[in-house]
A and B are shown apart, each in its own frame.
Chain A
Amino acid sequence: MQDTVAMVDDPEYEEEEEEPSFSDPEDFEDDIEDEELLEDILREKPQEADGIDSVVVVDNVPQVGPERLEKLKNVIHKIFSKFGKITTEFYPEADGLTKGYIFLEYAAPTQALEAVKNADGYKLDKQHTFRVNLFTDFDKYMNISDEWEAPEKQPFKDFGNMRHWIEDSDCRDQYSVIYEAGERTAIFANDAKDPILAEERARWTETYVRWSPKGTYLATFHQRGIALWGGEKFKQIQRFSHQGVSLIDFSPCERYVVTFSPLMDTKEDPQAIIIWDILTGQKKRGFHCESSAHWPIFKWSHDGKFFARMTTDTLSIYETPSMGLLDKKSLKITGIKDFSWSPGDNIIAFWVPEDKDIPARVTLMQFPSRQEIRVRNLFNVVDCKLHWQRNGDYLCVKVDRTPKGTQGVVTNFEIFRMREKQVPVDVVEMKESIIAFAWEPNGSKFAVLHGESPRINSSFYHVKNNGKIELIKMFDKQQANSIFWSPQGQFLVLAGLRSMNGALAFVDTSDCTMMNIAEHYMASDVEWDPTGRYVVTSVSWWSHKVDNAYWLWTFQGRLLQKNNKDRFCQLLWRPRPPTLLSVEEIKTIKKDLKKYSKIFEQKDRLSQSKASKELVDKRRAMMEEYGRYREAAQQLYQEQKSLRLELRGGVDTDELDSNVDDWEEETIEFFINEEIIPLGDL
């Protein structure tokens, strides 16, 4: 580095120019406000009311005499200096003992608030539980008027019947369609013949939409936040302001919605993730978030009572509606890699990788008791994935291992039987690498796609009650990379999406037969309707710019409709709320199914013939109109015949055989075939 030369010592400098003047011109008036220049300093300027807002009153403090006062003060200090700097403390006395309540002043009102939040209810010992309040609160409560004023009546916002769509007499499920590259969103009722439009709006959402888990709300995304719509006319139910929101998640009970935005976040006021109460629209709590890579960050228990998230070495479980940490502290689990809630009970499964001598473990923990109901050690683990069966009856842990002495990775499925005492675990060994795995939603079967492209096989297993896991069937040479079970179980679709060009196979797993093999070229998505009657395969504009459409199939693989939509992007079925029927009632209905099916078939036949009659009538009308036009055109044509003859020198060319005399007959021979017939030995 070059030595710096002092400007003053530089001979050139002195001679060169006069030092420029930095003073303001004579009549310059300073027009910058103090606030602008000194903002940070001004913030700390002592304000009049400051002192009072930083004071807290602590009640239920032990009454002690002067000999124990020092000790008491130390204890109080230790507890309360956690929330901030205590600038003043006052222990009022009477008759030689402390009165039992003290005043503490903090350096800032925020610290006082922290103290109130965290120390209120603190159990010092058996007889003394601190009550902490802001000093200003006393004032507030004292000043409440003695006259009771009835709270203002808020107008009742009637959104109509929020479950209106379920009451459709033909049991049509609804689905949302985003098309025209996101410009238009429409809601259709699904009918085997043609979709029936229920609602359609331009720019309803800016990116995509989400249904709530029971289908009550449709959430749309906007730059400033999200909006929820529902009811028969899809009125706006609620709005949540969260700038730049990009991801959302609903609680299973539909009471809360979690929004994530990568934009807003400050140290004091965590805003990256916000949890909202849907009915009141209130912000319940905000959280920090580093990255949204594994959304949803917060996983909900099936009943919405708890939600949890995993951070480095920690599992934090919160309870609703308080939004506070369960037992006021997180679980420290060193090395925790992944966790998930059982969809049927308040149990969390999590796994921890190997740590020196301790093998990798999968643990099942019950909440709120925090009791470990099952621990399973695993050896030589590379990775684990947790797959719960939809009712929480089984948990499958897919374990990738490198057995000692080998280089390759093998996969085991550890199947936990949740409904049996002490949760026994069975192991299924897989020889090939796994492409996809899926549980039957309400049954005890699972399907696996394994192998390496192009030799991919599909296998179907049944977890039996007698402790065995049986391979029911295996199909080889499948063109599939994803498994889609019907929500009612028994049927599934094996699909080869994207790179596999949309090959589809419809399977009935009751006897493992292929019901149909079909193709929807370049399909990017497969969606079952909530009842398991229909499947929609679609080519989304987001993955493929041509041939954007969605096709409707029956669960057996029969193609019903091809719906082309300009720049079609996404189709989502509207979920149904859980049935209100009891198990007995369902049994009775199934018994009487024959009676009902007669009525349904008749209805179907009527609507079919009505449709064809409509079509026939339409065609007849079109033909008549066309016929009239052609007649008029023909008439004009005839009138112009003389003009035509003139143009062609008298030759009539109106019909191909108008000039039979001109024709010559010619016989042409064509070479057709050559046949060599051996004549045998002569």
Chain B
Amino acid sequence: MKPILLQGHERSITQIKYNREGDLLFSVAKDTVTNVWYSVNGERLGTYNGHTGAVWCVDCDWDTKNVLTGSADNSCRLWDCETGKQLALLNTNSAVRTCGFDFSGNIIMFSTDKQMGYQCFLNFFDLRDPQQIEDNNPYLSVPCSENKITSAVWGPLGEFVIAGHENGEINQFSAKAGEILKKAKEHTRQINDIQTSVDLTMVITASKDNTSKLFDSNSLDHIKTFRTERPVNSAAISPSMDHVVMGGGQEAMEVTTTSTRIGKFEARFFHAAYEEEFGRVKGHFGPINCVAFHPDGKSYSSGGEDGYVRIHYFDSHYFDFELEA
């Protein structure tokens, strides 16, 4: 499959996300730029300008009306998707690491880093109440004193947020009162990314302990484990097949001591039920920081340390491929 190369960032990609219908692909990077692209051909629609620091996270609501971004410039911003206008600016005390719209698109959550004497907080704003935005006053702010949140997604019905921490823990935080509903400690090192399946029933975690694990969203039961020899930076679940894709590499610092070969950083495909790797896609010049499946399952994208986003459309072999069983 020949990939579409998106060149719109000058520094490493931190997150990429498709909108619900899959026609748009959002990408954010350390260069403060937030881009949105047509996923069908890689043409860029536009940018959302305003952040002055590295943008760590991006999300789009179910109706593709609003876009949410969080940045190291200590702010979380809301944008109008079509026009690019900044709708709200929420200042924080430390960098915003992860953010997201709930199922209804009415409530936003974001977490802030443990920095400069400030704890890690998980904040909730209700967009239907403009006062909260104006006063920068979240209706719920949950502190996380021990291990900061490194990645988080909403649960299936907007009742809780599933958060991954820097010690490998996963917690369900209630969106009503902020108490921890369920816990799971399966990983041994930092959770780099959590993503949901398209129907939100499962989540997949990517961890620095070289594994990626599949959990049930409601019960946090540990279903599957996918093992590699390198830290995993991001993982995603295919919407249409029993596959997962994982991207990783190693710490940016260690890159020059290992492979200096061109284009040898790979995205790996595992069979979700057999936990066996069945394919790899090369192409990035540096570790892969984020992967995402198109909601129809016919393509996937990856964003790397090299600043490129690559969109890959699967050929028929991918769909016909079966492991003997």
Q: Please give, as numbers and ranges, the residues of chain B lying within 8 Å of A633 by CB-CB distance.
A: 201-202, 216
Cβ < 8 Å to A, chain B residues 298-320: none
User: Is there contact, CB below 8 Å, between B223 and A547?
Assistant: no
Contact string, B198-231, partner A, CB cutoff 8 A, digits 1/0? 0101100000000000001010000110000110
The smallest beta-carbon distance between B213 and chain A, in angstroms, is: 14
A547-B258, A623-B273, A636-B201 given; A616·B325 CB < 8 A: yes
CA distance A110 to B104 in the complex (A): 97
CA distance A316 to B230 in the complex (A): 54
- Within 8 Å of chain A (Cβ to Cβ): is B285? no
Q: Please give, as numbers and ranges, the residues of chain A lying within 8 Å of B242 by CB-CB distance.
A: 626
CA distance A626 to B325 in the complex (A): 14
In the complex, the chain B residue whose C-beta lies closest to that of A633 is B201
- Within 8 Å of chain A (Cβ to Cβ): is B323? yes
Contact string, B99-131, partner A, CB cutoff 8 A, digits 1/0? 000011100000000000000000000000000
Number of A-B contacts (CB under 8 A): 68
Contact string, A632-662, partner B, CB cutoff 8 A, digits 1/0? 0110110010011001100001101000000
- Within 8 Å of chain A (Cβ to Cβ): is B7? no
User: Is there contact, CB below 8 Å, between A648 and B275?
Assistant: no
The smallest beta-carbon distance between A447 and chain B, in angstroms, is: 28
- Specify which of B103, B156, B223, B259 is in contact with A626 (CB 8 Å cutoff): B223
User: Is there contact, CB below 8 Å, between A547 and B157?
Assistant: no
In the complex, the chain A residue whose C-beta lies closest to that of B41 is A670
In the complex, how many residues of chain A place their beta carbon closer than 8 angstroms to a beta carbon of chain B?
A: 31
The smallest beta-carbon distance between B285 and chain A, in angstroms, is: 16
Q: Please give, as numbers and ranges, the residues of chain A lying within 8 Å of B325 by CB-CB distance.
A: 616, 619-620, 623
Q: Please give, as numbers and ranges, the residues of chain A lying within 8 Å of B216 by CB-CB distance.
A: 629, 633
CA distance A629 to B254 in the complex (A): 39
In the complex, the chain B residue whose C-beta lies closest to that of A634 is B201
- Within 8 Å of chain B (Cβ to Cβ): is A586? no
- Within 8 Å of chain A (Cβ to Cβ): is B250? yes
- Within 8 Å of chain B (Cβ to Cβ): is A202? no
User: Is there contact, CB below 8 Å, between A622 and B250?
Assistant: no
User: Is there contact, CB below 8 Å, between A619 and B103?
Assistant: no
The smallest beta-carbon distance between A636 and chain B, in angstroms, is: 7
The smallest beta-carbon distance between B148 and chain A, in angstroms, is: 27
Q: Please give, as numbers and ranges, the residues of chain B lying within 8 Å of A634 by CB-CB distance.
A: 201
Q: Please give, as numbers and ranges, the residues of chain A lying within 8 Å of B103 by CB-CB distance.
A: 644, 647-648
The smallest beta-carbon distance between B315 and chain A, in angstroms, is: 19
In the complex, the chain A residue whose C-beta lies closest to that of B103 is A647
CA distance A549 to B41 in the complex (A): 41
In the complex, the chain B residue whose C-beta lies closest to that of A519 is B261
Most buried by B among A522, A546, A616: A546
CA distance A545 to B230 in the complex (A): 12
- Within 8 Å of chain B (Cβ to Cβ): is A377? no
- Within 8 Å of chain B (Cβ to Cβ): is A236? no
In the complex, the chain A residue whose C-beta lies closest to that of B200 is A637
CA distance A648 to B104 in the complex (A): 5
Q: Please give, as numbers and ranges, the residues of chain A lying within 8 Å of B296 by CB-CB distance.
A: 656
- Within 8 Å of chain B (Cβ to Cβ): is A612? yes
- Within 8 Å of chain B (Cβ to Cβ): is A461? no
CA distance A519 to B253 in the complex (A): 25
User: Is there contact, CB below 8 Å, between A616 and B158?
Assistant: no
The smallest beta-carbon distance between A499 and chain B, in angstroms, is: 12
The smallest beta-carbon distance between A502 and chain B, in angstroms, is: 11
- Within 8 Å of chain B (Cβ to Cβ): is A564? yes
Interface of B, secondary structure class, is loop
The smallest beta-carbon distance between A479 and chain B, in angstroms, is: 14
User: Is there contact, CB below 8 Å, between A619 and B324?
Assistant: yes
The smallest beta-carbon distance between B189 and chain A, in angstroms, is: 13
Q: Please give, as numbers and ranges, the residues of chain A lying within 8 Å of B274 by CB-CB distance.
A: 619, 622-623
User: Is there contact, CB below 8 Å, between A546 and B157?
Assistant: no
User: Is there contact, CB below 8 Å, between A640 and B295?
Assistant: no
Contact string, B233-254, partner A, CB cutoff 8 A, digits 1/0? 0000000001000000010001
User: Is there contact, CB below 8 Å, between A647 and B158?
Assistant: yes
Contact string, B48-75, partner A, CB cutoff 8 A, digits 1/0? 0000000000000011000000000000
User: Is there contact, CB below 8 Å, between A546 and B273?
Assistant: no
The smallest beta-carbon distance between A618 and chain B, in angstroms, is: 8
Most buried by A among B157, B254, B325: B325
Q: Please give, as numbers and ranges, the residues of chain A lying within 8 Å of B199 by CB-CB distance.
A: 637, 654
- Specify which of B229, B259, B295 is in contact with A521 (CB 8 Å cutoff): B259
Interface of A, secondary structure class, is helix
- Specify which of B158, B218, B258, B275 is in contact with A636 (CB 8 Å cutoff): B218
Contact string, A537-566, partner B, CB cutoff 8 A, digits 1/0? 000000001110100000000000000100
- Within 8 Å of chain A (Cβ to Cβ): is B257? yes
- Within 8 Å of chain A (Cβ to Cβ): is B22? yes
User: Is there contact, CB below 8 Å, between B295 and A622?
Assistant: no
In the complex, the chain B residue whose C-beta lies closest to that of A623 is B273
Q: Please give, as numbers and ranges, the residues of chain A lying within 8 Å of B229 by CB-CB distance.
A: 547, 549, 564
Contact string, B24-46, partner A, CB cutoff 8 A, digits 1/0? 00000000000000000100000
User: Is there contact, CB below 8 Å, between B157 and A644?
Assistant: yes
In the complex, the chain B residue whose C-beta lies closest to that of A647 is B104
Q: Please give, as numbers and ranges, the residues of chain A lying within 8 Å of B158 by CB-CB distance.
A: 647
Q: Please give, as numbers and ranges, the residues of chain B lying within 8 Å of A627 by CB-CB distance.
A: 273
CA distance A532 to B21 in the complex (A): 59
The smallest beta-carbon distance between A169 and chain B, in angstroms, is: 29
In the complex, the chain A residue whose C-beta lies closest to that of B223 is A629
CA distance A670 to B41 in the complex (A): 9
CA distance A653 to B103 in the complex (A): 11
Q: Please give, as numbers and ranges, the residues of chain A lying within 8 Å of B104 by CB-CB distance.
A: 647-648
Q: Please give, as numbers and ranges, the residues of chain B lying within 8 Å of A549 by CB-CB distance.
A: 229
User: Is there contact, CB below 8 Å, between A546 and B201?
Assistant: no
Q: Please give, as numbers and ranges, the residues of chain A lying within 8 Å of B268 by CB-CB distance.
A: none
In the complex, the chain A residue whose C-beta lies closest to that of B202 is A633
Q: Please give, as numbers and ranges, the residues of chain A lying within 8 Å of B105 by CB-CB distance.
A: 648
Q: Please give, as numbers and ranges, the residues of chain B lying within 8 Å of A648 by CB-CB distance.
A: 62-63, 103-105
A546-B250, A546-B254, A633-B202 given; A622·B275 CB < 8 A: yes
CA distance A654 to B201 in the complex (A): 12
Cβ < 8 Å to A, chain B residues 140-191: 156-158
- Within 8 Å of chain A (Cβ to Cβ): is B20? yes
User: Is there contact, CB below 8 Å, between B250 and A616?
Assistant: no
In the complex, the chain B residue whose C-beta lies closest to that of A629 is B223
User: Is there contact, CB below 8 Å, between A653 and B324?
Assistant: no
User: Is there contact, CB below 8 Å, between A626 and B157?
Assistant: no
User: Is there contact, CB below 8 Å, between B21 and A656?
Assistant: yes
In the complex, the chain A residue whose C-beta lies closest to that of B227 is A564
- Specify which of B63, B272, B324 is in contact with A616 (CB 8 Å cutoff): B324
User: Is there contact, CB below 8 Å, between B157 and A640?
Assistant: yes
The smallest beta-carbon distance between B19 and chain A, in angstroms, is: 12
User: Is there contact, CB below 8 Å, between A637 and B324?
Assistant: no
Q: Please give, as numbers and ranges, the residues of chain B lying within 8 Å of A616 by CB-CB distance.
A: 324-325
Q: Please give, as numbers and ranges, the residues of chain B lying within 8 Å of A545 by CB-CB distance.
A: 257
Cβ < 8 Å to B, chain A residues 119-166: none
Q: Please give, as numbers and ranges, the residues of chain B lying within 8 Å of A521 by CB-CB distance.
A: 259
User: Is there contact, CB below 8 Å, between A656 and B295?
Assistant: yes
Q: Please give, as numbers and ranges, the residues of chain B lying within 8 Å of A640 by CB-CB distance.
A: 156-157
The smallest beta-carbon distance between A257 and chain B, in angstroms, is: 37
The smallest beta-carbon distance between B113 and chain A, in angstroms, is: 28
CA distance A169 to B224 in the complex (A): 38
In the complex, the chain A residue whose C-beta lies closest to that of B43 is A670
The smallest beta-carbon distance between B259 and chain A, in angstroms, is: 7
A619-B324, A626-B273 given; A643·B157 CB < 8 A: yes
Between-chain CB contacts (< 8 Å), 25 pairs:
A521-B259, A564-B229, A612-B324, A615-B324, A616-B325, A619-B274, A619-B323, A619-B324, A620-B325, A622-B274, A626-B242, A626-B273, A629-B216, A633-B216, A637-B201, A640-B156, A640-B157, A647-B157, A647-B158, A648-B104, A648-B105, A653-B62, A654-B199, A656-B296, A670-B41
Top 8 nearest A-B pairs (CB, nearest first) are A626-B273, A647-B104, A619-B325, A633-B201, A623-B273, A564-B229, A619-B274, A647-B103
Further contacts, 19 of them, CB under 8 A, given A546-B230, A619-B323: A546-B250, A546-B254, A564-B229, A615-B324, A616-B324, A623-B273, A626-B273, A627-B273, A633-B201, A633-B202, A633-B216, A634-B201, A636-B201, A636-B218, A647-B104, A648-B63, A648-B105, A654-B199, A656-B296
